[in-house]
Amino acid sequence: MSLTEQAVREALARVNDPELNRDLVSLGMVRRIDIADGAIRLRLALTTPACPLKSVIERDVRAALEPLPGFRGVEIEFTADVAGRARGQQDLAPGVRNIVGIASGKGGVGKSTVALNLAVALSQSGARVGLLDADIYGPNIPTMMGLREPPRVVKNQIVPLEKHGLKMISMGLLVPDDSPVVWRGPMLNSALRQFFGDVDWGELDYLLVDLPPGTGDVQISLVQLVQVTGCVIVTTPQLVSTQDARRGLAMFQQTNTPVLGIIENMAWFRCDGCDKIHRLFGEGGGERTARELGIDFLGSIPLGQNVREGGDSGVPVLLADPDCEQSLQFRRIAGELAAAVSVQNLEGGRRPVEINLGSG
User: 266 is in which domain, residue-wise?
Assistant: 99-349
Element (H, E) at 203: none
First to last CA, the chain: 27
C-alpha 209, offset from chain centre: 10
Q: Which of 78-87, 119-128, 234-243, 328-337 has the lowest mean pLDDT?
A: 78-87
Residue-wise pLDDT for 292-311, tens only, equals 988 999 999 999 899 999 99
- Residues 63, 170 within the same domain: no
Query: 201 pLDDT band (50/70/90 cuts)?
Result: very high
High-pLDDT (> 90) share of the chain, %: 56
Between helix 54-65 and helix 5-12 the angle, nearest 10°, is 130
Query: 176 pLDDT band (50/70/90 cuts)?
Result: low
Residue-wise pLDDT for 70-102, tens only, equals 999 999 999 988 888 877 767 888 899 999 999
Residue 93 inside a domain? The answer is no
- Residues 247, 317 within the same domain: yes
Q: Which residues, 6+ apart, have CB-to-CB distance to 197 below 8 Å?
A: 92, 93
- Residues 66, 204 within the same domain: no
Residue-wise pLDDT for 205-261, tens only, equals 999 999 988 877 888 889 889 999 999 999 999 888 888 888 888 888 888 899 999
- Residues 224, 108 within the same domain: yes
- Residues 177, 274 within the same domain: yes
φ, ψ (nearest 5 deg) of residue 223: -75, -15
Of 273 and 106, the one with more pLDDT: 106
Closest CA to 251 of 233, 235, 266: 233
Mean pLDDT, all residues of the chain:
88
Residue 337 inside a domain? The answer is yes
Give the DSSP letter string of 28-72: T-EEEEEEETTEEEEEEEES-TT-TTHHHHHHHHHHHHTTSTT--
DSSP 148: -
pLDDT for 1 beyond 70: no
- Residues 123, 193 within the same domain: yes
Strand partners, 158: 153, 199
Asked whether 159 and 153 are in contact (CB, 8 A), the reply is: yes
Asked whether 219 and 101 are in contact (CB, 8 A), the reply is: yes
High-pLDDT (> 70) share of the chain, %: 92
- Residues 132, 216 within the same domain: yes
Residue 88 inside a domain? The answer is no
CA distance 237 to 295: 16
- Residues 137, 255 within the same domain: yes
What is the CATH classification number for the domain harbouring 74?
Answer: 3.30.300.130
3-state secondary structure of 82: strand
- Residues 18, 105 within the same domain: no
Asked whether 296 and 283 are in contact (CB, 8 A), the reply is: no
Query: 353 pLDDT band (50/70/90 cuts)?
Result: very low
pLDDT for 359 beyond 50: no
Residue 360 inside a domain? The answer is no
pLDDT for 190 beyond 80: yes
- Residues 77, 106 within the same domain: no
Q: Which of 68-82, 108-122, 176-190, 334-348 has the lowest mean pLDDT?
A: 176-190
Asked whether 233 and 104 are in contact (CB, 8 A), the reply is: yes
- Residues 205, 237 within the same domain: yes
pTM, to two decimals: 0.86
80: left (phi over 0), alpha (psi -120 to 50) or beta: beta
- Residues 72, 109 within the same domain: no
- Domains held by the chain: number: 2
CA distance 160 to 179: 21
What is the CATH classification number for the domain harbouring 184?
Answer: 3.40.50.300
Residue 130 inside a domain? The answer is yes
